[in-house]
């Protein structure tokens, strides 16, 4: 116990005195809230604003008031399109044809047929088309109402039923994307923050010839591994706590309700996220140590261990692509946590059984890796690559 | 007491096989300083690494005070103070912290530990260095820190792999006096060196290793007599040059 304490004290002293590695570890935590905030701002702007739409009119001179009404909704003529967007809107090719007889038919009270031509299957056109339709219908209704009004008819008669709409849909795709990115980012922080410390205390110590001396001492390799593991994972735990605190502060500066998301980091979410991520920190540190001890040099360790970044970033995306998820992904390390995090961000109630299972699975895997590593450190191969 | 018995060790790689130890046996007794000599590549370091339990012998065994290193490595290492051939320092720790670290690993604690550290700092004349971070230490200063951490727990047995390389004259003398003191107290000291005068002056017994085998052993005087030379250096060259009739 005393040995373990001495080993740990030394690891922590070294880690906290290595300011550069510590800065790298914490930089993810510091950058993340800023990134999330900027992304949310952009997403909200896109969702709420009415970007300009350019329509190829023919016969626009016949219906100046309609064109004016369209203009009010930021639907403009193709002749006004800025140079850099010209190619795009030419390809999208939305055409609105106004017949020559528009003014005459309007005066005569005859029905008028406008033609809207566009590729209705094109996804990016659905919003512009909807907006054009809305304006034309509104304009048409307004004229109709006025006609009735001047004839002394109450226009309420035309609306016997009024439908009030309440949207309970899941957050829009933008909001989903952001919560997914938040999840991946948290996972990556848990995975990567301890990395510089893990490499330094394994491959680094070997390169500085201090590992050989330590391995000659009367101390079990298990204790050595545990000390290094607890140090590296503590750094990542500190990093994710910092990240969560800063993110929850940053979230106060953006109005998520505008895009239909209702995500906030309250005390309970905070605790659940920590419960999910702490086992990941341990798993990540053990994987990093295993790979770093395997490598022949500090440089090799850096490149191979960085490959581990694949795990936390790839698995959540793979899960998103899977439509029918097999049961085991719910309790597998990393995938289980990322599914649960998705639930948390959607505001769904947490499945405590799944949380327990996936945490236990992660911890079991970590223990396995630690034992393998402790065994490997007694082997000659590790010693031989010392020299 | 350190005993090495019929050690064999080969390093096998894809291209070639190197036989580093080929049936090496010797004993370093308590209360004696035993020098281990040999040309580069003779197998000294491999032998010492087997003693620490870093390498496993293909055949034969090493014991420290009767404990087999391969069977109970941790127990055996507790009885050892090691100065390895390659050493580094924890550059973000101070010299004191580093010595403290190794003392704690050896199970020392509290006031005892601090007294021991203070004592070794005084003995090796390095109190001024104690609270400086070891980054930027000179070779000699680094050696001193490593020596201090090997000696702080006053082990029964010392294994020192060329402990005087890079030390200045004063430090070498301090170390020699220190080793002599430990010898009088009945400790067993095994050290390798390339400096013949040092070996001749300090060692009670000398072991000469060549090609992974024992080439000769005895007091410096006996070795000189055996080779018919006056100087140990001449005797050494002669003994490793021809193993005829001297592999006693």
- Residue B54 has its nearest CB partner, among A3, A7, A216, at A216
Which of A31, A34, A77 lies closest to A52 in space, CA to CA? A77
**Which chain A residue shows the shortest CA-CA distance from B57?**
A380
Nearest-CA distance from B65 to chain A in Å? 15
Mode of pairing for the β-strands spanning A53-58 and A95-97: parallel
**Which chain A residue shows the shortest CA-CA distance from B97?**
A10
CB distance A342 to A186 below 8 Å: no
pLDDT tens, N- to C-terminus, chain B (248 residues): 999 988 898 888 778 888 888 888 999 989 999 999 888 888 888 898 888 888 888 889 999 998 998 888 889 999 999 988 888 889 899 999 999 999 999 988 889 999 999 999 988 888 888 899 988 888 888 888 998 998 899 889 999 888 888 788 888 888 888 888 889 989 999 988 888 888 888 899 999 988 888 888 888 888 888 888 888 888 888 888 754 444 44
Predicted-complex ipTM score: 0.87
Chain A residues close to B92, C-beta within 8 Å: 13-14, 17-18
B115–A contact, CB cutoff 8 A? no
Distance CA B205, CA A195 (A): 50
**Number of A–B residue contacts, CB under 8 Å:** 82
* B103, B104, B149: best to mutate for the A interface, most A CBs within 10 A: B104
Q: So what's the pLDDT on residue B244?
A: 45
pLDDT under 50 in chain A at which residues? 171, 387
Chain B residues close to A380, C-beta within 8 Å: 54-56
The one-character DSSP state at A257 is G
Q: So what's the pLDDT on residue B248?
A: 43
- Residue A380 has its nearest CB partner, among B56, B74, B80, at B56
Distance CA B123, CA B174 (A): 8
CB distance A231 to A201 below 8 Å: yes
**B186's tokens:** 């009945």
- CB contact residues (below 8 A), chain B span 5-24, against chain A: 11
Mode of pairing for the β-strands spanning B67-68 and B80-83: unpaired
Phi, psi of A143 (to 5 degrees): -65, -45
- Residue B84 has its nearest CB partner, among A2, A9, A216, at A216
Report pLDDT digits (tens) over A214-255. 888 899 999 999 999 999 999 999 998 998 888 888 877 777
Using the CB atoms, write b or e for A326-349: b if 16+ within 10 Å.
Answer: eeebbbbbbbbbbbbbbebbeeee
Nearest-CA distance from B212 to chain A in Å? 18
Chain A residues close to B104, C-beta within 8 Å: 2-3, 5-6
**Which chain A residue shows the shortest CA-CA distance from B72?**
A218
* Secondary structure of A46-77 as H, E, C letters: HHHCCCCEEEEEECHHHCHHHHHHHHHCCEEE
Distance CA B57, CA B42 (A): 16
Q: So what's the pLDDT on residue B243?
A: 47
Q: So what's the pLDDT on residue A387?
A: 46
- Residue A380 has its nearest CB partner, among B55, B82, B102, at B55
User: Are A10 and B55 an interchain contact pair (Cβ–Cβ within 8 Å)?
Assistant: no
Nearest-CA distance from A239 to chain B in Å? 22
Question: Three-state DSSP class for A340?
Answer: helix
């Amino acid at each position: 116990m005393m040995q373990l304490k001495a080993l740990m004290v030394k690891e922590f002293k070294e880690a906290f005195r290595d300011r550069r590695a510590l800065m790298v570890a914490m930089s993810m935590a510091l950058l993340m809230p800023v990134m999330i905030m900027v992304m949310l701002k952009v997403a909200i702007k896109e969702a709420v604003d009415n970007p300009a739409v350019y329509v190829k009119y023919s016969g626009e001179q016949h219906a100046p008031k309609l064109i004016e009404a369209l203009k009010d909704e930021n639907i403009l003529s193709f002749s006004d399109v800025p140079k850099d967007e010209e190619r795009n809107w030419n390809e999208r090719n939305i055409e609105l044809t106004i017949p020559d007889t528009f003014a005459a038919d309007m005066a005569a009270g005859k029905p008028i047929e406008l033609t809207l031509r566009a590729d209705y299957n094109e996804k990016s056109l659905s919003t512009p088309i909807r907006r054009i339709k809305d304006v034309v219908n509104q304009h048409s209704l307004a004229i109709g109402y006025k006609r009735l009004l001047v004839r002394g008819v109450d226009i309420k008669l035309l609306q016997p039923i009024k439908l009030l709409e309440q949207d309970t849909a899941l957050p829009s795709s933008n909001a989903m994307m952001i919560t997914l990115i938040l999840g991946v980012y948290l996972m990556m922080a848990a995975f990567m923050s301890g990395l510089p410390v893990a490499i330094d205390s394994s491959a680094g110590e070997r390169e500085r010839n201090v590992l050989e001396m330590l391995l000659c001492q009367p101390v079990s390799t298990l204790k050595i591994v545990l000390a290094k593991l607890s140090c590296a994972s503590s750094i990542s735990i500190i990093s994710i706590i910092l990240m969560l605190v800063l993110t929850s502060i940053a979230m106060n500066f953006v109005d998520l309700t505008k895009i239909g998301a209702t995500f906030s980091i309250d005390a309970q979410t905070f605790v659940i996220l920590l419960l999910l991520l702490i086992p990941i920190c341990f798993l990540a540190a053990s994987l990093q140590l295993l790979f770093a001890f395997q490598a022949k040099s500090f440089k090799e360790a850096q490149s191979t261990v960085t490959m581990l970044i694949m795990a936390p970033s790839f698995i959540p995306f793979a899960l998103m692509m899977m439509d029918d998820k097999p049961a085991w992904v719910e309790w597998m390390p990393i995938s289980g946590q990322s599914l649960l995090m998705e639930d948390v961000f959607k505001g769904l109630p947490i499945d405590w059984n799944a949380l327990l299972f996936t945490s236990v699975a992660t911890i079991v895997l970590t223990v396995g890796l630690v034992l393998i590593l402790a065994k490997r450190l007694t082997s000659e191969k590790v010693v031989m690559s010392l020299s | 007491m350190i005993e090495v018995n019929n050690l064999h060790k080969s390093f096998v790689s894809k291209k070639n096989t190197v036989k580093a130890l080929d049936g090496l046996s010797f004993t370093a007794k308590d209360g004696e300083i035993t020098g281990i000599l040999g040309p580069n590549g003779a197998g000294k370091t491999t032998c010492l690494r087997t003693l620490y339990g870093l390498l496993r012998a293909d055949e034969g065994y090493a014991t420290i005070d009767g404990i087999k290193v391969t069977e109970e490595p941790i127990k055996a290492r507790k009885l050892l103070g090691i100065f390895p051939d390659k050493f580094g320092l924890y550059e973000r720790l101070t010299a004191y912290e580093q010595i403290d670290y190794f003392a704690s690993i050896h199970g020392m604690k509290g006031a005892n530990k601090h007294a021991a550290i203070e004592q070794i700092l005084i003995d090796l004349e390095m109190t001024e260095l104690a609270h400086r971070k070891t980054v930027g230490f000179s070779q000699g200063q680094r050696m001193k820190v490593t020596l201090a951490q090997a000696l702080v727990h006053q082990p029964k047995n010392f294994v020192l792999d060329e402990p005087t390389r890079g030390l200045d004259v004063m430090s070498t003398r301090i170390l020699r006096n220190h080793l002599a003191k430990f010898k009088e107290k009945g400790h067993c000291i095994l050290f390798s060196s390339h400096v013949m005068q040092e070996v001749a002056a300090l060692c009670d017994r000398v072991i000469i290793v060549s090609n992974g085998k024992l080439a000769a052993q005895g007091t410096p005087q006996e070795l000189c007599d055996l080779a018919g030379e006056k100087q140990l250096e001449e005797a050494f060259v002669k003994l490793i040059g021809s193993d005829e009739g001297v592999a006693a």
